[in-house]
Chains A and B, each alone.
Chain A
Amino acid sequence: MKDIFKSIEAYRLWEKEEPRSPEDKASFIADRIDVSDRDLNAFITLDREAFSRKAKAAFSPERRKSPLGGVPVAVKSNICVEGELTTCASRMLEGFRPPYNATVIEKLDHEGAFVISGANMDEFAFGSSCETSAYGPSRNPWDEDRIPGGSSGGSAVAVSSGQVVCALGSDTGGSIRQPASLCGVVGFKPTYGRVSRYGLIAFASSLDQIGPLARNVTDCATLLKAISGYDEKDSTSVNIEVPDYCASLGMDIKGMKVGMPSEYFQEGIDGDVQERLREAVKALEELGAEILEVSLPHTRYAVSCYYIIGPAEASSNLGRYDGVHYGYRDEEARDMIDMYVRSRTEGFGDEAKRRIILGTYALSSGYYEAYYLKALKVRTCIAEDFRKAFEVCDAIVTPTSPTTAFRIGEKSNDPLKMYLSDIFTIPANLAGIPAVSIPCGLGDNGMPVGMQLMAAPFAEEKLIRIAHAFERNTGFHELKPGTIED
């Protein structure tokens, strides 16, 4: 596949010069996706009807004035797009077409982006491999036998394979950053409250955040700027001005302090990942950053903490899927209770059931204090670690994932092992801080390795500044899967 979608800039050049009509441009994009998606399964469904409906507006010369005008943006299937299938990759939401747009979709529409709904994902965002999708796993474009990461696997695949220019994902415990890392693209999780969650189908409300994925930091910053900002429909959206993230591009990082938490560079990380990270840190140092050691002592409890809080909130958020007002219903049910049980039992996959049951258990009478309340307190300790660390450094660097992409099926029977693949990304969600994953080379198996940078709340600019300086000077973002031609 020709790499015409390698950046917003490249795409816009192509689009401007391309003589096709808006409808034909839309078909061209849809065809490109269709062809590669037979192998990759990045999209659950491609709504061609929506493509042609939206083409005229998106590809008008008028729209080209906006930085995202006409740019194809894939949207994860847990972000509501009015009238288009939004299924969370679950049978439970089979056929569900929201009667409203998520706020981020309104914003993208306003910017003139060409929104492509239905990117594949782990069911209800429960997973780190995209294997729990009821519509089959997405595959890593670097090696189709491997997982792309998750839960925003489809978004990462669509970007990495050049099907689209950029994408939106959601990140509850690493669901943007981990697949970005495993697919060799940039993925950004903003500060909790930076981007409206209105219209994001909730997994864990206190952790969820929508963010961009792109092939480079510049595009990520552009997309982030477009979707950020206060929304009166989301009580947890923060009413402070959004800086121009693109202004941080191209700045040097001399004298910036980057912390290396000793706790993150210990056992459990693959050797090649560890090595790439040391090289990356060295590169940052060469760019003038000051590297210092920081300590995040409670980080090792993050996974435990997360697997109480996440499932607890999820068990409640997913209570609404009962076959009454929308979504899947078992028609054979004898009565109401029976209908609930049958619909939910048939509609949810195993991982969803596991988390719902785990979360219900953690909140149930007699266990609330031992599990849920305890986890909330440990969460405070984890956030406090970060607060202290950011008193002495501008950013913290870690691997995004302890391994490169593993093989499909490798961890699907061992939930705990799967959960531990988010060990480095979860703390940022618990603390609500911004974090980005950027490519930092390839592992021994030729699969991408990602570096994670985290910063204090609302310090997205620092992350963009460091990430862009790193990208500019290393060029790892130019690496791409073999399926993409130049």
Chain B
Amino acid sequence: MRKDKNKYSISIEDVSYAARLSRIELESDKMGKFREQLNDILVYIDQLNEVDTEGVAPTSHVLTSMRNVFREDEPGTSLPNEKALANAPAKSGNFFKVPKIIKES
């Protein structure tokens, strides 16, 4: 794991990068607090490095022997348009509506 030169496991830049990727804005005071808290957690988590995991397979599913769960290509029930849009913060006709998309890229 990457370490800053000092006591920190995570830099302000790291926090701000992860926040930006998460589409969350952190005010500068919160940024500092979060960095301290996340750092505490990551320092604690560093103990994972004590475990020798050479040759150990990762477990992303505990159901390690389960395979090939399919559904047949049979139509199910769709929602009527009113129900699909019922929770939408904004809609227009049959559509969900959002502020104009300024092309991000």
Residues of chain A whose beta carbon lies under 8 Å from any beta carbon of chain B = 95-97, 99, 192-193, 206, 232, 235-236, 238, 298, 300-301, 303-305, 307-308, 315, 319, 322-329, 331, 333-342, 344-345, 348, 350, 353-354, 356-358, 360-361, 364, 366-367, 370-371, 373-381, 383, 415-416, 419, 430-432, 457
Contacts and interface: CB of A to CB of B under 8 A. Distances in A.
B53 to A, nearest CB: 4
B40 to A, nearest CB: 5
B63 A192 contact: yes
A336 B57 contact: no
Contacts of A307: 41, 44-45
14 contacts: A95-B87, A301-B47, A303-B44, A337-B23, A337-B102, A338-B99, A353-B24, A358-B41, A361-B38, A364-B18, A377-B59, A378-B53, A380-B58, A415-B40
Nearest to A346: B25
B89 A323 contact: yes
B90 interface: yes
Nearest to A420: B44
Contacts of A95: 87
Q: Closest 6 A-B residue pairs measured CB to CB?
A: A432-B62, A376-B58, A326-B87, A377-B53, A329-B89, A361-B18
Contact of A416 (B24, B41, B60, B69): B41
Given A236-B63, A325-B96, A360 B22 contact: yes
A303 B41 CA distance: 10
A364 B15 CA distance: 11
Nearest to A382: B59
Contact of B24 (A298, A344, A432): A344
Listed residue (B57, B58, B89) with the most chain A CB atoms within 10 angstroms of its CB: B89
Interface of B: 1-2, 10, 14-15, 17-19, 21-26, 30, 34, 37-38, 40-42, 44-51, 53, 56-63, 66, 69, 71, 79, 83-84, 86-90, 96, 98-102, 104
B34 A344 contact: no
Given A307-B44, A341-B24, A358-B38, 5 more contacts: A308-B48, A334-B99, A337-B23, A377-B57, A431-B62
A177 B44 CA distance: 24
A91 to B, nearest CB: 13
B1 to A, nearest CB: 5
Contacts of A341: 23-25
Contacts of A339: 98-99
A99 B22 contact: no
A334 B23 CA distance: 15
Contact of A371 (B1, B30, B83): B1
B23 to A, nearest CB: 4
A333 B25 CA distance: 14
Contact of B41 (A324, A327, A419): A419
A357 B34 contact: yes
A336 B99 CA distance: 6
B63 A193 contact: yes
B24 A192 contact: no
B86 to A, nearest CB: 6
Contact of B96 (A324, A348, A360): A324
Nearest to B27: A345
Contacts of A193: 62-63, 66
B57 to A, nearest CB: 6
B99 A357 contact: no
B70 to A, nearest CB: 9
A379 B100 CA distance: 44
A419 B10 CA distance: 19
B10 to A, nearest CB: 7
A299 to B, nearest CB: 12
A319 B21 CA distance: 10
Contact of B60 (A206, A331, A344, A361): A206
A416 B59 CA distance: 25
Listed residue (B14, B50, B58, B83) with the most chain A CB atoms within 10 angstroms of its CB: B58
A457 B61 CA distance: 13
Contacts of A329: 89-90
Contacts of B21: 360, 364
Given A322-B23, A415-B41, A370 B71 contact: no
A336 B102 contact: yes
A341 B102 CA distance: 14
A310 B54 CA distance: 23
A99 B100 contact: no
Contact of A206 (B19, B42, B62): B62
Contacts of B98: 324, 336, 339
Given A193-B63, A238-B63, A337-B102, A375 B86 contact: no
Contact of B49 (A356, A374, A380): A374
